[in-house]
Structure 1
């Protein structure tokens, strides 16, 4: 499943995502193309992030959305979340 990244998202998404990025300084901007892996999102934290997003937004990601490519950047992840809503 290929998802087109978006450049804006809500504050809850950013707050949730930042909680899973230990190497992202609080003063540093989170952009649509920020590499989530470069800022500390590993396979274990991806599972936690997935569960948190599903609970916060009341969605279940479809199986085809569980590709690691959908967790590469905030823009792609937000678009994936929106398509699951």
Structure 2
């Protein structure tokens, strides 16, 4: 069995927000999370929990439509947010970081 590309904290948050994910089943990195019950409201909850758990802002980064968003996509976004240079350029050019931006763009 292949190991998940993400850590246990990420998977725990997904499990809490994906009602269709079986108790003993791990989410597949390449399967749209819509198959596990993800909708736009569930995504807001998951993203909020991820921001709190990882102390990052994902504002404006989740731009993949809910119907095609995979756990792998979302982990890539979180991983990028954990990099030191994630928001450095934005703060200097906009003067305010991510403040005032639309928190999530979901189609």
Q: TM bucket by the smaller chain?
A: 0.7 to 0.9
For residues 24 and 10 of structure 1, what CA distance do their matches in structure 2 show? 17
Query: Match for residue 20 of structure 1?
Result: 17
Q: How many residue pairs end up in the alignment?
A: 78
Query: Match for residue 76 of structure 2?
Result: 79
For residues 29 and 23 of structure 2, what CA distance do their matches in structure 1 show? 16
CA-CA distance at 1:26 after TM superposition:
1.0
Tell me the TM-score normalized by structure 1. 0.81
User: Which range is displaced more, 35-44 or 67-76?
Assistant: 67-76
CA-CA distance at 1:48 after TM superposition:
0.8
Query: Match for residue 9 of structure 1?
Result: 6
Query: Match for residue 41 of structure 2?
Result: 44
Which has the higher Rg, Structure 1 or Structure 2? 2
Q: Which has the higher helix share?
A: 1
For residues 54 and 62 of structure 1, what CA distance do their matches in structure 2 show? 9
For residues 30 and 44 of structure 1, what CA distance do their matches in structure 2 show? 19
1:56 paired with 2:30, answer no
Q: Which runs of 5+ in 1 are unaligned?
A: 1-6
> Secondary structure of the residue that 2:33 maps to in structure 1?
coil
